[in-house]
Amino acid sequence: MSDKLKNIFSLINRSGRLELQAPQGILLQPISVDFASPAFKYRLRRGGGRSQPLARALGLKHGASPLVLDAAAGLGRDGFIIAALGCRVIMCERAPLIHALLADGLRRALEDDELARTASRIRLCEGDCRILLSSLIGDEMPQVIYLDPMFPHRRKSALVKNEMRVLQAVAGEDSDSTELLDAAAQTGCRRIVCKRPARAAPLGGRRPDFAVKTLRHRFDVYLNSKRD
Ligand SMILES: C[S@@+](CC[C@H](N)C(=O)[O-])C[C@H]1O[C@@H](n2cnc3c(N)ncnc32)[C@H](O)[C@@H]1O
């Protein structure tokens, strides 16, 4: 898709919900962030709690609830699940249109009885997380940094495929994601978790200390031995 087309995606308000719409002539469905959808609520209820792979990768054993920075928040699903596991989460998203969708989804989650408590644990920041990482101090410093940058060759269901295509068209390909991993490592945080497709190479070829695998994904875990 040309840069010119990328720039004419538009945000529309449909019955109180923001939707991101592709330019006319592009066969992509509008997307929005809806943490209250039945499918997502089911995922929250039946995801496996602290025994699920994501929780194990984050190190949530023995009741630990670290402050987690979701450094590539996207549509916020992973970050919201992390908050539902009991962690405080800082979400950071640099693509303004995606940030606007996410802010709208979080605002509506705060109004939903079932989701409000989880949503209240989340703080959303806009901008490049590499800059945020260099400015965090004291209590704001996360113990865990979670990264899920875009990966170009994902095979998903038709719906997610549409979502990923819109996301990629608007946010680009995250070709600088190794720099994000390096910036995260420089903070000296306890643990970095990087989500990758199951068969992809580790980000930037950096070998993780260990990995937690699922059918479709792999969470590469980098430990800071001085802190963990
Ligand atoms: C694959 S999506 C993340 C999906 C997300 N985990 C979810 O559950 O919806 C990657 C997102 O990271 C964002 N991103 C990539 N690098 C970033 C950076 N350095 N700072 C902030 N956001 C970044 C992109 O704009 C994109 O929206």
Q: How far is the CA of 45 from the centre of ligand 1 (A)?
A: 24
> Is there an atom of ligand 1 within 6 Å of 163 CB?
no
Look at residue 138 in the predicted model and tell me its pLDDT: 84
Which residue is listed with tokens 């992509």? 28
> Is there an atom of ligand 1 within 6 Å of 54 CB?
no
Look at residue 48 in the predicted model and tell me its pLDDT: 83
For ligand 1, atom 10, name the residue with the nearest CA: 149
Look at residue 24 in the predicted model and tell me its pLDDT: 84
| Reported confidence tier of residue 218, pLDDT bands at 50, 70, 90 | very high
> Nearest 5°: phi and psi at 180?
-65, -40
Measure the CA–CA gap between 210 and 95, rounded to whole angstroms. 31
Model confidence, pTM: 0.94
Query: Of the candidates 178, 187, 104, which has an alpha carbon nearest to the alpha carbon of residue 138?
Result: 187
Counting from 1 in the atom list of ligand 1, the atom nearest the Cα of 150 is: 1
Q: How far is the CA of 133 from the centre of ligand 1 (A)?
A: 15
120-179 confidence digits (pLDDT tens): 999 999 999 999 999 988 888 999 999 999 987 555 566 668 998 899 999 988 899 999
Q: How far is the CA of 74 from the centre of ligand 1 (A)?
A: 4
Average pLDDT, the chain: 92
Write the single-letter amino acid at 124: L
Counting from 1 in the atom list of ligand 1, the atom nearest the Cα of 132 is: 20
